[in-house]
């Protein structure tokens, strides 16, 4: 049996108890005294208190982390490495009893009956984070390679130099920050989320967390990021082709469900724009995973001719409380009450104005006109679309009771054009449908291969008779199909 005492240099209660512990130890009692403070501070405390010997140092707070006290001084009764009892703070009767069990006589007379002590160094938030990171590494929860950024390097510049950045500064993914991010999911950090194109990099939850930290994600969006990575890497989404195409499309993330609000996402004014941390960092985290884990870099694997700003981040939440429809993810199979993400391969969004339509039919005429020009009016069946209907437009559909299917049918019908207007060379425009397919110039040709290739979401501010359309990339089986996943498995 021995007593192990934990103290620190700037604790007045430790000052009161230390002489008694020191005296007993000097007399041969089995007592170890360990300081949580540095060597200079510990030596100065011993000198100030005129101790017989300087306390040992609890190097790297190893014992403190093991006993994990709230306060110091803490005296622990240890038997062959096992704890048999402890007193945190100064509690004279209990300390006397503990010492008695260890066969130690402590001179406690004159000390106060009870004092609560000071917070253990392990309760300092910075220290606690460091200890949590160390424990995660020891337990195998962290396995990523550690990279050292030298004293003379600026961490932000060093991360640019190492090629980790999308062009904007990154938050350094220290082990402490990554461990904190991992707290946002109950899943094992080494679980595989997906193989990420173009090089099939293994995106473990840990790797996604590292990139989410760099993107600036708040912890509560992390499960949404995981679901987005899973969805983006589904073979149906064709991320390899999407990364390597000359087309400007990138993954657009639509979040539908209660977690969007809880994570602070924006589904209202400027939902597709700047100013909301959750929206922007979710989209950015996915793109950083593609870059760093997948290995897709602009002008290398990513052959986009122009790209577009949405390839930094493209993510918004659906406005569900007054939507004419259930959430997009719920329509696509995610259970009511759960949150889902829908990934769409989209270019930059574009405005469709109609401030005069007063019936859903009139509005569909305008919206279909906007849809028809995706890519080029004369290119048919190639693209799909994500139409983000604004609340003032959506009101017409809600009041008329039009569900998604009804709206899609109407948009499909109204985006037809006569084949003769779409033929190659018509009107002096070379682009168009090959002459051999134009047997009847009056025959109506749809824009989309099927009405299902028009996705409908509801988002935007209260005012503005506007909707927004994201044109798609090569659609369907030959290209990318939208993919929806529940966030639930990642909580």
Partner 1 sequence: MAVTILDPTREAAPAGRPLASERLSGEGQATIALLDIRKPRGDVFLDELDRLIAARGHTVIRTAKPTFTKPAPPDVRAEIATRCDAVIEALAD
Element (H, E) at 454: strand 454-458
Nearest residue to 134 (alpha-carbon basis) of 171, 170, 178? 178
3-state secondary structure of 39: helix
- State the Cα–Cα distance between residues 331 and 313, nearest whole angstrom: 24
Q: Are 284 and 312 in contact (CB under 8 A)?
A: yes
Question: Residue 214 Cβ, how far from partner 1 at the closest point, in Å?
Answer: 6
Nearer to partner 1, 294 or 476 (CB): 294
Nearer to partner 1, 9 or 134 (CB): 134
Question: Residue 294 Cβ, how far from partner 1 at the closest point, in Å?
Answer: 8
Q: Which residues bind partner 1 (CB under 8 A)?
A: 142, 144-151, 155, 159, 164, 172-175, 178, 196, 199, 201-202, 206-207, 210-211, 214, 288, 292-295
Nearer to partner 1, 138 or 151 (CB): 151
Question: Residue 208 Cβ, how far from partner 1 at the closest point, in Å?
Answer: 10
Per the document, the length of the chain is 491
Nearer to partner 1, 148 or 186 (CB): 148
Residues 6+ away with beta carbon under 8 Å from 223: 184, 185, 259, 487, 490, 491
- State the Cα–Cα distance between residues 236 and 230, nearest whole angstrom: 12
Question: Residue 133 Cβ, how far from partner 1 at the closest point, in Å?
Answer: 9
- State the Cα–Cα distance between residues 210 and 228, nearest whole angstrom: 15
Question: Residue 185 Cβ, how far from partner 1 at the closest point, in Å?
Answer: 17
Question: Residue 172 Cβ, how far from partner 1 at the closest point, in Å?
Answer: 5
Q: Are 238 and 345 in contact (CB under 8 A)?
A: yes
- State the Cα–Cα distance between residues 250 and 348, nearest whole angstrom: 9
- State the Cα–Cα distance between residues 144 and 125, nearest whole angstrom: 23
Question: Residue 88 Cβ, how far from partner 1 at the closest point, in Å?
Answer: 32
Nearer to partner 1, 229 or 455 (CB): 229
Nearer to partner 1, 149 or 413 (CB): 149
Nearer to partner 1, 145 or 321 (CB): 145
């Amino acid at each position: 049996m021995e007593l192990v005492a934990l103290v620190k240099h700037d604790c007045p209660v430790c000052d009161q108890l230390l002489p008694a512990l020191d005296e007993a130890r000097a007399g041969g009692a089995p007592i170890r005294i360990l300081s949580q403070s540095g060597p200079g501070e510990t030596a100065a405390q011993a000198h100030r208190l005129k101790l017989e010997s300087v306390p040992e140092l609890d190097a790297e707070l190893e014992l403190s982390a093991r006993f994990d006290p709230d306060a110091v001084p803490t005296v622990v009764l240890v038997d062959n490495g096992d704890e048999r009892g402890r007193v945190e703070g100064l509690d004279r009767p209990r300390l006397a009893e503990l010492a008695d069990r260890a066969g130690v006589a402590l001179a406690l007379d004159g000390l106060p009956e009870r004092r609560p002590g000071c917070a253990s160094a392990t309760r300092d938030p910075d220290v606690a984070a460091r200890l949590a990171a160390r424990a995660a590494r020891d337990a195998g929860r962290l396995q990523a390679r550690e990279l050292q950024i030298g004293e003379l390097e600026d961490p932000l510049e060093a991360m640019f130099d190492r090629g980790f950045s999308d062009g904007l500064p990154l938050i350094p993914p220290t082990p402490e920050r990554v461990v904190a991010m991992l707290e946002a999911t109950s899943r094992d950090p080494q679980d595989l989320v997906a193989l990420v194109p173009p090089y099939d990099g293994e995106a473990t939850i840990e790797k996604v967390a590292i990139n989410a930290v760099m993107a600036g994600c708040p912890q509560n969006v992390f499960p949404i990021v995981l679901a987005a990575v899973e969805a983006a890497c589904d073979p149906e989404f064709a991320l390899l082709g999407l990364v390597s195409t000359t087309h400007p499309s990138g993954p657009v993330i639509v979040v539908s469900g209660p977690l969007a609000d809880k994570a602070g996402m924006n589904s209202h004014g400027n939902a597709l724009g700047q100013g909301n941390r959750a929206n922007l960092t979710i989209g950015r985290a996915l793109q950083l995973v593609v870059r760093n884990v997948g290995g897709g870099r602009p002008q290398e694997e990513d052959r986009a001719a122009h790209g577009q700003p949405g390839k930094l981040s493209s993510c918004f939440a659906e406005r569900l409380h007054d939507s004419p429809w259930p959430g997009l993810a719920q329509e696509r199979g995610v259970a009511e009450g759960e949150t889902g993400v829908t990934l769409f391969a989209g270019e930059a969004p574009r405005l469709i104005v109609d401030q005069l339509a007063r019936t859903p039919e009139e509005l569909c005429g305008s919206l279909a006109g906007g849809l028809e020009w995706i890519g080029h009016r004369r290119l048919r069946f190639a693209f799909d679309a994500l139409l983000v209907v604004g609340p003032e437009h959506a009101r017409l559909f809600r009041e008329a009771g039009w569900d998604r299917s009804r709206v899609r049918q109407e948009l499909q019908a109204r985006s037809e054009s006569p084949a003769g207007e779409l033929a190659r060379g018509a009107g002096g425009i070379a682009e168009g449908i090959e002459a051999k397919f134009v047997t009847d110039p009056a025959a109506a040709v749809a824009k989309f291969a099927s009405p299902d290739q028009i996705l409908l979401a509801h988002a935007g501010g209260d005012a503005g008779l506007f909707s927004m359309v994201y044109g798609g990339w090569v659609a369907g089986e030959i290209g990318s199909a939208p993919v929806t996943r529940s966030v639930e498995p990642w909580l």
